[in-house]
Structure 1
Amino acid sequence: MCGIVGIVGQSHVNQALYDALTTLQHRGQDAAGIVTCDHRIHQRKGTGLVRDVFRQHHMDRLRGRVGIGHIRYPTAGSGSSAEAQPFFTNSPYGIALAHNGNLVNARDLAQEVFRDDLRHLNTDSDSEILLNIFASELARHGRTRIDDEIVFNAVSEVHRRCTGGYAAIALILGYGIVAFRDPCAIRPICLGVRETHSGMEAMVASESAALDGLGFERVRDLAPGEAVILAPNGEVRSRRCATESRYSPCIFEYVYLARPDSIIDEASVYRTRLRMGETLAAQILAEWPDYDIDVVIPIPDTSRTACLPLADALGVKYRESFVKNRYIDRTFIMSGQVERSDSVRRKLNPIKREFEGRNVLLVDDSIVRGTTCRQIIEQAREAGARRVYFASAAPPVRYQNVYGIDMPVAGELIAFNRTEEEVAKAIRADRLFYQPLDGLLDAVRRENPNLREFDTSCFTGEYVTGGVSRHYLERIAIDRADHPSKDDPRSQIAVAAEDAEVPELHNHV
């Protein structure tokens, strides 16, 4: 769930890239980077938030009218500073690439890159693999001078070789920017333009909110398997490069990942979340018509949008009863389970008088690991709540996500191999309500009826790209566990992943 941006402007784009990355900061807090070019490549990247990575003297050196940027949220690789993006290779032409997503066949591709393409990798990041495959295919199809046909053919080969969910933006020295989206359109990327007194400018970004903040008019989202070229003069050219494609965007973008002011695949994230609240309220009324809820309280910030219509439908008071420390990172995208646990009480503080003697319904966007909601429920009880009910605006998260969201280990997921009643007991809620999957899908489809299929793998265990084997899931469970050592008594996550029954897999190709 990284954030990516690329801009072709009529003046220096360094400040615009910086501003776009701050707009996309919610998509990653691990590292940030910018690459620009005039007659040569200029680069600055490092670990930390955008505001921490870039100082004035760094910005002064990022000269050029063409540039790309990236904010990192680690899903593959070690998360070290060496894996901050964009990545760069000087052969052929000079190419920098920023990538959001995850390649399912990265291990096989790494061997191919070394054995067949005769290229070396310096990190464990699948983004560097993607860069080298794209570069290798440009060299294979290219000549001394690059043209659109060479680029589109290279992207076609990327789609043929790579399996997974990905959106990528590449800067090619002296040519412009190339952006492309995986054949299932799992990870988001959109296109915008703006006209200045000096001429046309073009921009691509993970979310339309980044376009809005810079005054670009959103044109559309990239289609499945599509590549767009942003020429130095602001002209945009595009082509569908995948031989087979299907529209299956990630449903979790609407649940949690994206900003509410973004539009993804012609569906407003804000209005989708409003409808999620309405359908969740209908579910509660169907299960419990004689409810005794006194007040509905959102877990800030993402759940606020769904919580308002839910409270209205139930005819119950809505109260902002948790105060959030805005200087604490999003707990979902923190690097370790211990760090997530420690941050919850520093992140949220209850207003005790809003809880005392009341039956409260806490509403969150989803329940993933269960760490945050369990501690929040404890806080509500300590603040004096008589009963604490909990509602999730998303269905139970039971399976690994393999397309770029940090849900890799089944043993980390509170709903894995548990019934809803068992989850309620585990998080210590008096009662638990989940959004039905059909309700979630309907909330998005009512915004865009043309979206008939989604990547819902974290809810259903069905993987739209294919190529997801039991062996693959077992391997990433071990590779990405917070405590990978089997001999470490703290390694409960890795042990749970190995001991748990692997679910039946459904690959849809």
Structure 2
Amino acid sequence: MSDAIKHECGIALIRLKKPLQFYVDKYGTAFYGLNKLHLLMEKQHNRGQDGAGVANIKLNMEPGERYISRYRSIDPKPIQDIFNHINSRFYEIGEENPELLKDVNYLKKHAGFTGELFLGHLRYGTFGRNSIESCHPFLRQNNWITRNLVVAGNFNLTNVDELFEVLLEIGQHPKEKSDTVTVLEKIGHFLDVANDEMVSKYQALGYNSHQIYDKIAENIDIPQILKQSSEVWDGGYAMAGLFGHGDAFVLRDPNGIRPAFYFEDEEVAVVASERPVIQTAFNLKYDDIKELTPGHALIIKKNGTVSEVEINAPKTPTKCSFERIYFSRGNDYDIYEERKNLGRFVVPNVLKTIDYDLDNSVFSFIPNTAEGSFYGMIKGLEDYLNEQKYEQIIALEGKPNPEKLKEILNRRARIEKIAIKDAKARTFITQDDARDDMVAQVYDITYGSVVRGKDNLVVIDDSIVRGTTLKQSILRILDRLEPKRILVVSSAPQIRYPDCYGIDMAKMGDFIAFDAAITLLKESGRQHVIDECYRKSKEQEKLPKEQIVNYVKEIYAPFKAEEISAQIAKMLTPENIQAEVNIVYQTVEDLHRACPGNTGDWYFTGNYPTPGGNKVVNKAFINYIEGKNERAY
């Protein structure tokens, strides 16, 4: 993607179901779980490069022995930094006595991260904030083992203000107003309540304190705690938690907005944000991996039992389509096919725009994640050419002329690798105010691949958000080849509305499609549409989120998608560029056809799956009109 969007975090959870000695005997190492966690995180580094964190719970430790370990990093290479830090202790032990590295009893007593329950997290920062305090996992500590809580997740809640007020009403004093702290304290509150109730219950039955906490660890109702905690959450989430005594969970939102997959056998239970990373880490087949059902939690008890339990009633599935377009790794079987279809389905509009002139058109892609859709686009062009060849061959009379037949059969789409991304240049600029710096140095081109003044140059990209990199860098660079026309193809539809479920797209002014619609309204003398939308938005600003309507749709209503695309092309065309610039977008209908299992399309249509979405878009539009450069949630 030329315009990098971020804040799509990743999680990885592993529960070793056998005693540690089992893994030493079978795999030759006491660090089997730690090594697998490292691999799961490395294979998901695409989901978070601003920071990372790891937590570990040791089971059955004696009082006074450390049983929770945690380390977080915002190093430029956070995963490497974390595991270098963890492994440094093992290097020390190995230098003293190599045999101790396989002594599981010694390791559990004398080294951190040698327990049976692991949680890893990868993070993209939001709105320029990137501090160690913002990194997951978060830890809520207590001297009572069953009250300790570790939480990490891929999520964003839209109603943090409401949840914060609830915490105040029950007497808490949270250290900050953020969805992560709010979630941690909400679960922690009901964890405390459950502990208090069970203490009273078992005291009445005559158990002593040590016996009581053994009973709590065995019988505490994790699903009930999650139900009480999450019943009013509004947002998208795949949230993981560890309890000090050894239980664990992964909870998914009722609409399935954020992804979660899991695998279980007699040795391990493992959860990750993406299916193929589990396949790679554990050498599994596609069918071995299960998707966590929306609204459900995977509950892993201290005794090793694993169950999928409904926490909140599943709603209409609206899984994030950006997972398929961009975020998730393309080596997932389904995602690879879907990305190819995204490229294939946009071909008719591409052909129409270049007047079906394949002989004088060169096709390429914006590296690197658009490569899958590029293959699909080429397949679509091949299908079109094969139809043309068939009709031309049928039309040949009598015995075909060999040269003419050869000419027909040799027609192919002209494919070149035009844009080259400099591996040393980084497009993910963490701080918002530096996001546009040095973009002109990210890409280079292959010279001599285009016939000057004659060829159309067609390049496909995943999506176009701000268009900054296109205008400041890519289009200028491509124009050096002197094509007649540059056609930029977006495998995603026009991004028109903010996201509020975990993607860093929160302000209306970030979207070139919105800017184009506003410009068209003003140029056509329809300022009243903008004014009326603002009036309606302000009137409902104080309403409960359940009553808010997305009136921002009225900004786009007067125009066809093609009109907005034409205006976008006009706005993104740099000064002094020689080539004509056109932009073709995927249609929403073809997006759904390509990705039938992931219908979450609110950033394209404004159809939010939760009431909080309408509240966010309402606030984002008000902020835009009032000149407030701030997030809407």
TM-score normalised by length of structure 1: 0.85
Q: Which of 438, 441, 460 matches 1:363? A: 460
> Which sections of structure 2, spanning at least 5 residues, go unmatched?
1-7, 21-30, 62-66, 90-111, 199-212, 382-411, 517-563, 574-579, 629-633
Secondary structure class of the residue paired with 1:214: helix
1:86 aligns with: 137
> Which sections of structure 1, spanning at least 5 residues, go unmatched?
446-450, 479-493, 501-509
Higher relative CO (Cα under 8 Å, sequence separation at least 6) belongs to 2
Secondary structure class of the residue paired with 1:134: helix
1:498 has 2:498 as partner? no
Secondary structure class of the residue paired with 1:161: coil
CA distance in 1, matches of 2:435, 2:364: 22
CA distance in 2, matches of 1:285, 1:64: 58
Q: Which of 261, 269, 272 matches 2:335? A: 269
C-alpha offsets along residues 29-58 of structure 1, whole Å, 9 cap, x if unaligned? 111000012141101102133345325342
Cα shift at 1:341 = 2.2
CA distance in 2, matches of 1:311, 1:183: 38
CA distance in 1, matches of 2:627, 2:372: 38
Question: How many residues end up aligned between the 2 structures?
Answer: 467
Matched to 1:426, the amino acid is: M
- Using the TM superposition, name which of 44-53 and 98-107 deviates more: 44-53
Pair 1:432–1:77, CA change in 2 (3 A): closer
Cα shift at 1:462 = 1.4
1:248 has 2:318 as partner? yes
Cα shift at 1:270 = 0.5
2:162 aligns with: 108
Q: Which of 224, 230, 245 matches 1:153? A: 224
2:449 aligns with: 354
Q: Which of 266, 274, 278 matches 1:211? A: 278
CA distance in 2, matches of 1:444, 1:22: 26
2:440 aligns with: 345
2:255 aligns with: 184
On the 8 A contact 2:55/2:69 being kept in 1, the answer is yes
In our comparison, the structure showing a higher alpha carbon Rg is 2
1:42 has 2:69 as partner? yes
Matched to 1:498, the amino acid is: E
On the 8 A contact 2:147/2:191 being kept in 1, the answer is no
2:309 aligns with: 239
CA distance in 1, matches of 2:175, 2:618: 25
CA distance in 2, matches of 1:324, 1:306: 17
The aligned runs of 1:296-315 (5 Å cut-off) are 296-314=363-381, 315=412
2:558 aligns with: none
C-alpha offsets along residues 180-200 of structure 1, whole Å, 9 cap, x if unaligned? 100111000111135xxxx52
The aligned runs of 1:128-167 (5 Å cut-off) are 128-142=181-195, 143=198, 144=213, 145-146=216-217, 150-167=221-238
The aligned runs of 1:405-420 (5 Å cut-off) are 405-418=503-516, 419-420=564-565
1:224 has 2:294 as partner? yes
1:324 has 2:421 as partner? yes
1:54 has 2:120 as partner? no
Cα shift at 1:338 = 4.8
CA distance in 2, matches of 1:33, 1:97: 11
On the 8 A contact 1:77/1:124 being kept in 2, the answer is no
CA distance in 2, matches of 1:303, 1:36: 37
Pair 1:312–1:248, CA change in 2 (3 A): closer
CA distance in 1, matches of 2:172, 2:270: 30
Pair 1:289–1:325, CA change in 2 (3 A): same
1:23 aligns with: 43
Cα shift at 1:456 = 0.8
Percent sequence identity over matched residues? Answer: 25
CA distance in 2, matches of 1:304, 1:497: 38
Cα shift at 1:352 = 2.0
The ranges of structure 1 where at least 4 consecutive aligned residues each deviate by more than 6 angstroms after the TM superposition are none
- Using the TM superposition, name which of 51-60 and 107-116 deviates more: 51-60
Cα shift at 1:221 = 0.9
On the 8 A contact 2:218/2:302 being kept in 1, the answer is no
Pair 1:103–1:52, CA change in 2 (3 A): same
2:397 aligns with: none
Secondary structure class of the residue paired with 2:500: coil
- Using the TM superposition, name which of 306-315 and 40-49 deviates more: 306-315
CA distance in 2, matches of 1:313, 1:227: 41
CA distance in 1, matches of 2:275, 2:233: 26
Q: Which has the higher strand share?
A: 1
Secondary structure class of the residue paired with 2:267: strand
The alignment yields a C-alpha RMSD, in angstroms, of 2.6
On the 8 A contact 1:411/1:497 being kept in 2, the answer is no
Secondary structure class of the residue paired with 1:224: coil
On the 8 A contact 1:398/1:417 being kept in 2, the answer is no
C-alpha offsets along residues 295-327 of structure 1, whole Å, 9 cap, x if unaligned? 111111111111122134335222222222334
CA distance in 2, matches of 1:81, 1:186: 27
